[in-house]
Amino acid sequence: MTDPDGSPDDRRDPGSSHEADCVPVPSAFEGRATPTDDDRDEFAVNWPAAWARAGDALEWERDYDAVLSTGDDGGPPFEWFAGGELNACANCVDRHLPERADAVALEWNGHIGESRTYTYRDLHREVNAVAAGLRDLGVDADDVVTTYLPAVPAVAVVMLACARLGAVHNVVFAGFSADALATRMERAGSRYLVTSDGYYRRGEAVDQRRRADNATMSLPYELDATVVVDRLGTNPDVSRDDRHAYDALVDAYDGERVAPVPRAATDPLFRIYTSGTTGEPKSVTHTTGGYLAQVAWSTRRVLDVTADAVVWSTADPGWITGHSYGVYGPLALGATTVLTEWSPDAVDPDRPWALVEDLGVEVLYTAPTVVRSFAKWGAEHPAGHDLSSLRVLGSVGEPFDAETWEWYYEHVGGGDCPVVDTWWQTETGAVLLSTLPGVDEARPGAVGGALAGVGASVRDASGEPTDPGQRGWLTIDRPWPAMARELATATDWGARVAAESGVGRDGDWWYRVGDEAFVDADGYVTVLGRADDVVNVDGRRFSTGEIEHALVEVAGVAEAAVIARDDPDSGNALVAYVTTADERTDVSTLREALGDAVAAAIGAGVRLDQVVFTPDLPKTRSGKIMRRLLEDIANGEGYGDTSALRNPEVVGELEARHQD
């Protein structure tokens, strides 16, 4: 067997040992689900026209001419709903006012216990005020407005206000450094910034205004305006002509109405960066019509969200999940979205479940690493709260091992909630692979198959589909509405598009996503992780995902990450970073068990050269483990910017443990 780049591969065939028994649709859920398999039948015979089902769920200012327009050869540029005009803000707010003005649109829960509720009427009023204020500051259609805010209501309001004006929002995660902010603003040509005086992190106030000022001073141009949210109650100085207080702006324009600007379906809605967990972050642009249509469509079908549903997507709005399933998806459907300033795995262990109980959360969408933290804390915490409101549990962001899946299903969902393990990327904009709740059986550890309208396969280095159980490149075989503009046009994307998308041997367009996977005989796809999440030891290549899977199956292990450290003798040495489920665990005996588990699962010739026990792993705010940072620490190299981490304090701990 060869690996996807064509080099020899000593890794085992994952097919048989990774498969788990299917879990049927919970009997308590039968008859309650919205999704059906009708879409699959329609798309099977009527692609791409069947995507009109998604487009027609939106309100259009001008009807589109065609669902999909292509280049002369049937390839790029792909234009979804071309000729159509709409406004994303109007679809997420205005159209709900006649029947749902008093329904709750947004529930916010702050870091130090504050809360705020917005009805759709409230949201409409504040969005209009902010839009009017931004317009008078000079913001026009196609201008780029950057937000550098914690997860407070203003971040969603500004996103919607920009959409209302036809401006492009460029949301930058609040934890990023001044350099990271400056880079993202300069690349976008953004002359408008909405930031805050600070935010709370682990109960401590963080001075964000200083970082924002440092970033803007390093730009090669002057900003036209900066708006500052008073998060800490510091009454920040806005005496300069180009600085304005957010609250004062809202008060000054309260009650004004701004007509939504019609936007072509192919016009940009926002820019966003990939997470950069394995390398340099990349910017992508999502367009208005195709993105919003597929996000609303997938929110309804994959997460079973309807009007009146309460949805908690735990991702920060600085990441694509926070955009798609924290703001646009739920609001497009008239649902209630929950926004928390705190991360659910970095607070009191009872706080997430108290929130679910108090707000009646029906859909919980989070990352496997968050669920592992829940499991580490203990089942007594969810058991101590009434979680009967939960209907659907979702997972996103990284491969979901079967053991953690089962804990989520049993201890959070009580065996009554289907778990949808979803696969998608910043580049895809919306979920592409998943089971459907109420329709499909689930297989713990596998994400399921491609959604209706999405073509996906696992292919080898020559582009041929692999046999069931054989690893290869996960590949999307045809375009989809929410695809990033860079993929749809196949220009301005650089080396990655050249390497990962193009025209296949049969003349069809494809997108090789950069993940390794295998598909079983039933069509369930198991994603093994990024293809660049591979370690090379003694000339042999091993998937970090497979090794980590073996480690977390050892009793007493909560989480694990594996990297290869430079070694003068072997070239590379295998290092495992492990967090235990209980601080009292005897790590001396656990160390031996971990080595045995890797040898048994991967091969007797594979051994762990070092095991580093740590209270936590470095993770982005979206819950992804930053393995490249672990590799830099292990090799004693400079690791640069750690502002993407939600727990930067762990870096010093890891350095100290390497020196012990």
| pLDDT score of 612 more than 50 | yes
**What pLDDT is recorded for position 12?**
36
**What pLDDT is recorded for position 33?**
63
Dist. CA 392–CA 108, nearest whole Å: 21
Q: Where in the chain is the domain with CATH 3.40.50.980?
A: 119-261
Dist. CA 648–CA 274, nearest whole Å: 19
Q: Which residues, in sequence order, are CB contacts of 31 under 8 Å at separation 6+? A: none
pLDDT bracket for residue 99 (50, 70, 90): very high
Q: What are the pLDDT digits (tens) for 202-212?
A: 778 888 999 99
Dist. CA 556–CA 543, nearest whole Å: 22
- Identify the residue with better confidence: 575 or 573: 575
Query: In the Cβ-directed half-sphere of 545, how many Cα atoms lie within 13 Å?
Result: 23
pLDDT bracket for residue 640 (50, 70, 90): low
Q: Do residues 421 and 446 lie in contact, with contact meaning Cβ atoms separated by under 8 Å?
A: yes
pLDDT bracket for residue 156 (50, 70, 90): very high
| pLDDT score of 169 more than 50 | yes
Q: What are the pLDDT digits (tens) for 263-273?
A: 999 999 999 98
Average the pLDDT over 360-371 and give the result.
Answer: 94
Sheet-wide strand order for 571-580: 557-567, 571-580, 610-613
**What pLDDT is recorded for position 31?**
66
**What pLDDT is recorded for position 552?**
84
DSSP 310: E
**What pLDDT is recorded for position 542?**
65
What percent of the chain shows pLDDT beyond 70?
87
Q: Where in the chain is the domain with CATH 3.30.300.30?
A: 533-659
Query: In the Cβ-directed half-sphere of 51, how many Cα atoms lie within 13 Å?
Result: 26
**Quick one: which of 62, 65, 64, 61 has its CA closest to 94?**
61
Q: Which residues, in sequence order, are CB contacts of 628 under 8 Å at separation 6+? A: 277, 278, 279
| pLDDT score of 276 more than 70 | no
Name the range with the highest mean pLDDT among 43-47, 103-107, 585-589: 103-107
Dist. CA 636–CA 458, nearest whole Å: 37
Dist. CA 629–CA 611, nearest whole Å: 16
Average the pLDDT over 474-495 and give the result.
Answer: 78
Q: What are the pLDDT digits (tens) for 278-330?
A: 445 678 999 999 999 999 999 999 999 999 999 999 999 998 999 999 999 99
Dist. CA 313–CA 242, nearest whole Å: 35
The tokens for 442 are 């689930």
The CATH architecture that domain 533-659 belongs to is: 2-Layer Sandwich (3.30)
**CATH number of the domain at 119-261, please?**
3.40.50.980
H or E segment to which residue 184 belongs: helix 178-188
Dist. CA 489–CA 476, nearest whole Å: 16
Average the pLDDT over 79-97 and give the result.
Answer: 98
**What pLDDT is recorded for position 450?**
95
**What pLDDT is recorded for position 186?**
94
| pLDDT score of 257 more than 50 | yes
Q: What are the pLDDT digits (tens) for 22-70?
A: 898 888 777 666 666 778 889 999 999 999 999 999 999 999 999 999 9
| Mean pLDDT for the chain overall | 86
Q: How many CB atoms lie within 10 A of CB 89?
A: 28
Average the pLDDT over 192-217 and give the result.
Answer: 90
Q: Tell me, rounded to whole angstroms, the distance of Cα 251 from its chain centroid.
A: 34
Note the pTM of the prediction, 2 decimals.
0.83
